[in-house]
Structure 1
Amino acid sequence: MDPALHGVFDPGLLWRNALPVFLVFLLIYGLSGRALLTLVLAGALLVLVFDVNAIKELNLNSPILPGDFALWHQVLHNIGFFANYAGQHFFLLLALLALLAFGAVLGVAWRLDRRWWRAHWLIRTAWAVLSLTVIVTLYRGNSVWRDVYADESLPGFQLSDPIASVKQVGVMAELVRMSQEAQTSVPKADQSLISEFAARHSEDMNSRVARQPPTELPDIVMVQSEAFFDPGVMKGVDFSKFVPNFERLAATGIGGSLITPTYGGGTIRTEFETLTGYPMQAFPSILYPYYGLASAWMPSVPRRLEALGYSTTLFHPFRGSFWNRRQVMPQLGFQQSYYLKSFAGVEHAGVYVSDRALFDFVLARLDDAQRGPQYAMVITMENHGPWDADSGMLVNVLDGHPLPSGLSAAGSREMTYYLSHLVNGDQALGDFAKRLLARPRWTMLLFYGDHLPSLPHAFADLGFDDGNQGIKQHTRYMLVSNRPLVQRKLDLSSYELPALLFDTVGLPEDGYLALDSVVRQAWEQGHYQHGADYGQVQFNAAQLEVGCGHKLDAAGRCGESRAQSPNRASSAPVAGE
C-alpha cells in the first residue's frame, strides 16, 4: 500500500514504517484477546488510513498529518461536505452499507475467536500496557525514539515538504516524525538575527511606529476568493482570457502573483496569514492555525483597525462552526460576523452561495452602516471544490470561452466546472468593484486568491508554461482604490498583504508588522537579492512575537509578556451560521 516501500528493499525504512502498525495490532489483541478479530479490525484501520491519505494527496497535495486528527469533529458534523471529495454523492449510503457489512464481519470473527486459544489475561494486559506506552512515547518523540526517527535514519525527510517526505520515507514513518515535530508548536527564534536587522534599519522602524494615520480613513474591503487564479499560467491558455475584469482592475492599482501556504484546500492557512501577517512557514508543525495558534492577544489586522476606530465585520456564506471560525474570528478582532443562516434565500451558483449574491449582501451592509470607517473581510464560497462535478446551468457562461485543446474527458470535466465558476465570479467581481468604488467614501479593495484548485487531470493534461507542477504555481492579488493610487506590479507572499495594506493607506505599524514592512522594503531596494536571508528574518520575528505573546519593540526584542486576553467569542455578535 505504500509506494515508498516498493522497489528497493531497505530494512531500516521497512521496520520504522512497520513498528507503529505492529504496535496497534498488539494493542488491539491485548485488549480483545482475539487474534482473528485483531487482524480484521487493525487491518481495516490500516486500509482506512492509506485510503484517506490517498484522497488527501489527490485533492490537497498533502499526506495525512497529525494535525488532521484535530478535525475529527469537523468531519463528523460536515460529513456531506467531505463526502464530495470521496468521489460520488452516494458515498454516505455506501459508507453506511460498508459499516454494516464490517460490523457483521467483526461479529463473525468474535464468535470464531471464542474457541481459539488465548493467552492469559495478565499476559495480554501486559502486552496492551506495553504497546500503549510505546505508542505514546513513540509519537511524542520521548527518549530514544527521536533519534530512531531522526533525519539520519530517514533520508529524504523534509519538514517543510510533507508530500515529498512521504514519498521518500513512507506514510507511517512520516506520520511518526511529524507527530514528534508537532510537540514543539512554536520553534525557538534566533533573537540575534532579528535584533541585528532591526538595528540596521532602526530609523525606518521608529518612523513606522510614530506614523500618524491620515485624517480621513478609508473603508477597507478584503475579499478572499475561493480557489482564484489566472489559468493563463497553463499551456495553451492566454492570460486574462477568463478573468478580464480582474485584469482590468489590477491594471489600475497594485498587483502581482501571490505565494500562498496551501494548495487545493486548507483555506484558513492563507486566511490566517492575511489576517495576522505571520507566515505559516514559521510554524511548520502547525497544520491548521485556528486550532491552537490563533489567539486573542495577536495584533491582527482587524484588531489594529479597531484601535483606529474601525468597525470590523466578517462575511462568509458557510457554517460558522467550520474551521472553528465562530470561536476564532472574535478573538482576532471581528465585532460582527455573518454566516450561512444570514444568507437564507439568496442566489446559489451550484452548491454554494454565488459570489454575486455575497457581494450584493456586503454592499447593502456597507451602505447601511455607521459613518465611521469600516473594515470588511469577505470569504467567498462559489468556486469551492471538488471541481469534477456537473457545472449545471453555469456552463453557459463559457460561451465565447472555449476550453483549451488537449484535455482528456476527466480534464474537460474539471476545467468546465472550475472555469464556469471562475468566469461567473469574475463578472460578479467587475460589478462589485464598480459599485463599491463609486461610493463617495474613500474605499480600498484588496482581492486575492487563497490557493489553486486541485485539478489533477487538467493540470496533467496541459501542464504549465514554466514547466513546474500545480503545487508550485501562484495565485493573484490586487489592491485598488477610488483615490489616486500609483500602479505597480509587486509579487508577494500572502503574509505580506497586511503590511502592504497599512503602508499604502499610511497607517501606523509596530511589532512584527513594522519589521515585516521594513524587510519587504529592504528586499525591494536590494532588487530581490538574498530572498532566503530576508525570509529567515521574517520567520524568526514571527516565531519570537508569537512565542512571547506580545508585540516586538522597535529594536526587534520581545516586549513584556502578558497573559492572553480572555475569549471574546461569547460576547461578539454572530448574525448567522
Structure 2
Amino acid sequence: MERSRARSSFWIVLACIAVPLVLVFGVEFIQRGNLYETWAWMSHNPKLFIMNGILDLFVFLLIFGLTGTLLPSFALALLLLCTMSFVSYFKVKLIGEPFFPWDIFLNKESMNIMPLVANKSALMRIGTMVVSVLALFVLSFFVPRLRLRPLTQIGVGLAAIFALYSFGVNAPWSSYVMDRMGASEIAWNQSENYGSNGMALAFTMNVKNAIVPKPAGYDEAAMASLAETLKTAQQSGIQTASLNMDSAGGQKPNVIFIMNEAFWDPTLLPNVKFSEDPVPTVHRLQQESTSGYLLSPQFGGGTSNVEYEVLTGQSMSFLPAGSIPYQQYISRPISSLAGYFEGQGYKSMAIHSYEGWFWNRENVYKQMGFESFMSKDQFTNPQYKGDFISDDEVANSIIKQVDSSDRPMFIYTVTMQNHGPYDDNRYGTNPIKAEGPLTPDAKSTLETYTQGAHDADASLQKLIDHFTQTGKPTVIIFYGDHLPMLGYDYDVYTQAGFIHTAKSEQWSLEELQRMHSVPFVTWSNIGLSKEQVPTISNSFLGSYVLNRIGLPLPATLAYNRELAQKMPGMLRNLVVDASGKLYPSVPAPLKGDVEKYREMQYDELFGKQYLAKYIDTEYLKQNVMPNYNQEFAEQPPADADTVLNASEH
C-alpha cells in the first residue's frame, strides 16, 4: 500500500512539472502561429517561460483540486487554456487585440466571431486540440487513476485559488515573484505585452486592469475646485457659440450623425488605382465643406467604443485596453449628446440596422437619454446587401423619421452593410476594379470592401439630395468607426504599401496614426463655413460639432473643446498636439490638462458624481426618458430572419 502511494505521489509530482510545460508550449504555439517563433520566445525568455508555467500549474492544480483525478484534470486544463489561446490568436488576426479577462463577459457577442474563424486552417487546429483532449479522457480509463485524498484535494484547490487571486490582483509577494522572473507589463501595447510576456502572464497582469483606479486626491473638495476651472472654459465656449448661432440665423437644425460601418477611403492606399472614384460624394465634400480625420481608438472592430467616445465625450484612453464600456461600465444614467439634445427641445433617436441587444445597445441607449431606438426589428421589409440591411435602406429610414417629426431631430445612426469579413463575394460582381501589387485574394477582398464604401457614399448623397430639396435645416456628420479589417495580419495594407509591416509593435508613430485615422465629412444647408480639421479624436467630435452649430456647451464639453485646441488627438499610445507633432504618450506640458479630463470622466462613470452638484446639474444628472422607445414597444418584429453573425457590431 505504501509503495503504491509512493508511486502515485511520484507520478503526480512529475505531472506537476511536466503538465505546465506542455500547456505553456501548446498555448504559445497557438498564440504565435508557428513553431519557430514559439521556440525563439522560449529560448530567449526562459524565466518568462517558467513564469507562465507557474501560472498554468496553478490552473491545473485548481482543476485537479476540483476533480481529484490527474488525466481528466490535464485534459480540462488543456481545453481551457488552448481555447483561450485560440480566441486570442484569431482576435489578434482580426482586429489586432488579444484576449482580455473582460472578454469572458461578452456573452452573445463573443459567439458571433465563430463564423469568421471557421476556415480549414482554424478547424484543423481546433480539431487537433479536441482530439488531444478526448485522447486524454479515453486514456484515463486504461491507466491507473491517480487520485488525491479528499483533504489533500481541498488543500490543493484552495492553495491554487489563493495563488491565482494573488497574481491577478498583484499582491506584494506575487509582484515580487513576477519582477524576479522578468515580467514587464506593456499596458499601452497589448499585442506586444502578450508577445513579450506570454499569454498566461499577460492575461493575469490584465486582471487588475479590470478595475479602474481612482485618481489621486479624488474627493468632493477636489471636484468642487475642478468645477471652478471648468466654468472658465464654459464661459469662453458660450461666447463663441453665440457668435456662430447668430451667423446661422438662430435655427435649430436637424443634427444627423452617421457612423458608417468601417467606412474609410480606399484611394488612400498608395500603390493601388481604381477604375473609378469609389467615394465621389466624400471627395467633393472634402473640398466644399468642413472635413478632416477622426483619430479612432479602434481598428477593425469595437464599434461601440467609438460610439461611447462620440456620444459621451469621454475617452477610451483612460480605460483598460480592450475594455467595452457598453458591456462593463454603463449601468446608470450617463450624460451624452442624446440627453443634451433632448434638453434643447430635440427628439433624440438612435438607428442601427442590426440586433438591438448587440453590445447591450438597447440598455445603454436608454441610460444615455435617447427617446427612441430603431433597431433591425423596426425596419419593415428592408432591402439587404449581402448579409446585412443596406445603407440605402438606412438612409430611407433617416428621411422618414425626420420628415414625420414635428420637432428638430438628433439622430445617431450606425450602419451594417459594409461589415467584414470581405472575402465572401457578397455582391457577385464588383464594378469598381482595383489594380496594384495585390494577390488575387487581397484584390477580391479590397474590391468587395470598396463596393460597400461606394454604396455608403451613395447613401450619403441620397440624404443630401433630399434635404437640399425639402430645405429643412439639417447638419449631417458622416464618418466611419474604424479602418476595415482587410484580411488577416493587415494583409491588404501591407501589400498596398500603406504600412511597412504586419507587426503593429514595429509601426512608426506616423503609421499608427494612419491606421487609426478615419475621414469625416459634413454637409449642411444652414450656411456653416468650411474648416479643415487635420486630426480630432472621436471624444472631441461632439463638442466640436455643437460649437460649430452654435449651441451652448455644458462645462465638461466646453473643456473638451478647449483641450482639443491644445491636443486634438489622443489614443492610449499616441498623442497629437496642436502643431501636429506626434508623441507616444502625453507630453509633460499637457499632463495637467489631461489629468483634469481623466478626473471628469472618473467622477461621472465610476465616482460620486460630485461635479453635478456644482455645474451643469441638468446635463450631468440626466434621467432616463420615461417614454423610452414607446413608439416601437408594441410593434411586432419586421421579419423572422435568423440572427446574422457579426464580429464586433
Same fold (TM over 0.5): yes
| Equivalent in 138, 141, 147 of residue 108 of structure 1 | 138
Which runs of no fewer than 5 residues in structure 1 stay unpaired?
none
375-384 vs 1-10, which moves further: 1-10
| Equivalent in 182, 196, 201 of residue 210 of structure 2 | 182
- Secondary structure of residue in 2 paired with 1:278: coil
Q: For the Cα contact (< 8 Å) 2:339–2:622, is it kept in 1? A: no
Report the CA distance shift for 1:478/1:516 in structure 2 as closer, same or farther (over 3 A): same
CA distance in 2, matches of 1:209, 1:348: 45
| Equivalent in 278, 281, 288 of residue 245 of structure 1 | 281
CA distance in 2, matches of 1:108, 1:169: 34
Q: Does residue 492 of structure 2 align to residue 458 of structure 1?
A: yes
Q: Does residue 252 of structure 2 align to residue 217 of structure 1?
A: yes
Structure 1 position 571, deviation (Å):
4.7
The equivalences for 1:507-526 within 5 A come to 507-522=551-566
Q: For the Cα contact (< 8 Å) 2:351–2:413, is it kept in 1? A: yes
The equivalences for 1:300-319 within 5 A come to 300-319=336-355
Report the CA distance shift for 1:574/1:25 in structure 2 as closer, same or farther (over 3 A): farther
Q: Percent identity?
A: 21
468-477 vs 303-312, which moves further: 468-477
> Which residue matches 2:441?
410
CA distance in 2, matches of 1:563, 1:224: 24
> Which residue matches 1:166?
194
> Which residue matches 2:13?
none
Matched letter for residue 464 of structure 1:
F
Q: For the Cα contact (< 8 Å) 2:353–2:389, is it kept in 1? A: yes
> Which residue matches 2:318?
282
Structure 1 position 23, deviation (Å):
1.0
Matched letter for residue 155 of structure 2:
A
Matched letter for residue 108 of structure 1:
V
Q: For the Cα contact (< 8 Å) 2:271–2:437, is it kept in 1? A: no
- Secondary structure of residue in 2 paired with 1:463: coil
Which runs of no fewer than 5 residues in structure 2 stay unpaired?
1-26, 502-506, 569-576, 638-649
CA distance in 2, matches of 1:196, 1:61: 40
Report the CA distance shift for 1:201/1:110 in structure 2 as closer, same or farther (over 3 A): closer
Structure 1 position 333, deviation (Å):
1.3
Structure 1 position 217, deviation (Å):
0.8
| Equivalent in 508, 524, 529 of residue 481 of structure 1 | 524
Report the CA distance shift for 1:127/1:53 in structure 2 as closer, same or farther (over 3 A): same
Report the CA distance shift for 1:218/1:408 in structure 2 as closer, same or farther (over 3 A): same
- For the aligned residues, what is the CA RMSD? 3.7
Q: For the Cα contact (< 8 Å) 1:309–1:373, is it kept in 2? A: yes
> Which residue matches 1:365?
401
The equivalences for 1:189-228 within 5 A come to 204-208=233-237, 215-228=250-263
Matched letter for residue 486 of structure 1:
S
- Secondary structure of residue in 1 paired with 2:378: helix
Q: For the Cα contact (< 8 Å) 2:260–2:479, is it kept in 1? A: yes
CA distance in 1, matches of 2:215, 2:319: 7
The equivalences for 1:369-408 within 5 A come to 369-370=405-406, 372-393=407-428, 395-398=429-432, 402-408=433-439
Number of residue equivalences: 563
Structure 1 position 195, deviation (Å):
10
Matched letter for residue 255 of structure 2:
I
Output one character per residue of 1:520-572: Cα deviation in whole Å (capped at 9) or x when no partner: 23458964569844764564233212322348589xx9899999777669954
CA distance in 1, matches of 2:500, 2:531: 23
> Which residue matches 2:480?
449
**TM-score, scaled relative to structure 1:** 0.87
Report the CA distance shift for 1:235/1:385 in structure 2 as closer, same or farther (over 3 A): same
Matched letter for residue 178 of structure 1:
N
The equivalences for 1:113-192 within 5 A come to 115-149=144-178, 153-155=182-184, 157-184=185-212, 187-188=215-216
Q: For the Cα contact (< 8 Å) 1:140–1:183, is it kept in 2? A: no
CA distance in 2, matches of 1:151, 1:540: 32
CA distance in 2, matches of 1:197, 1:446: 31
CA distance in 1, matches of 2:495, 2:549: 43
The equivalences for 1:87-102 within 5 A come to 87-88=118-119
CA distance in 2, matches of 1:171, 1:38: 20
| Equivalent in 304, 328, 334 of residue 268 of structure 1 | 304
CA distance in 2, matches of 1:558, 1:134: 46
CA distance in 2, matches of 1:107, 1:530: 55
**TM-score, scaled relative to structure 2:** 0.78
- Secondary structure of residue in 2 paired with 1:517: helix
Structure 1 position 353, deviation (Å):
0.5
Structure 1 position 11, deviation (Å):
3.3
348-357 vs 116-125, which moves further: 116-125
CA distance in 2, matches of 1:338, 1:418: 26
> Which residue matches 2:12?
none
Output one character per residue of 1:467-508: Cα deviation in whole Å (capped at 9) or x when no partner: 855784211111221121221210211111101111101111
Structure 1 position 168, deviation (Å):
1.7
- Secondary structure of residue in 1 paired with 2:435: coil
> Which residue matches 1:323?
359
CA distance in 1, matches of 2:150, 2:386: 57
> Which residue matches 2:19?
none
Structure 1 position 392, deviation (Å):
2.9
Structure 1 position 357, deviation (Å):
0.8
> Which residue matches 2:550?
506
Output one character per residue of 1:199-242: Cα deviation in whole Å (capped at 9) or x when no partner: 89975532325766663211000000110111232122369932
> Which residue matches 1:545?
600
CA distance in 2, matches of 1:310, 1:385: 34
Structure 1 position 185, deviation (Å):
5.3
Report the CA distance shift for 1:294/1:510 in structure 2 as closer, same or farther (over 3 A): same
> Which residue matches 1:356?
392
Output one character per residue of 1:275-315: Cα deviation in whole Å (capped at 9) or x when no partner: 01111112235610102333544321111111111100011
CA distance in 2, matches of 1:110, 1:561: 65
Q: For the Cα contact (< 8 Å) 2:223–2:611, is it kept in 1? A: no
- Secondary structure of residue in 2 paired with 1:6: helix
> Which residue matches 2:113?
82
Q: For the Cα contact (< 8 Å) 1:296–1:566, is it kept in 2? A: no
Matched letter for residue 553 of structure 2:
E
CA distance in 2, matches of 1:333, 1:6: 53
| Equivalent in 39, 58, 67 of residue 93 of structure 2 | 58
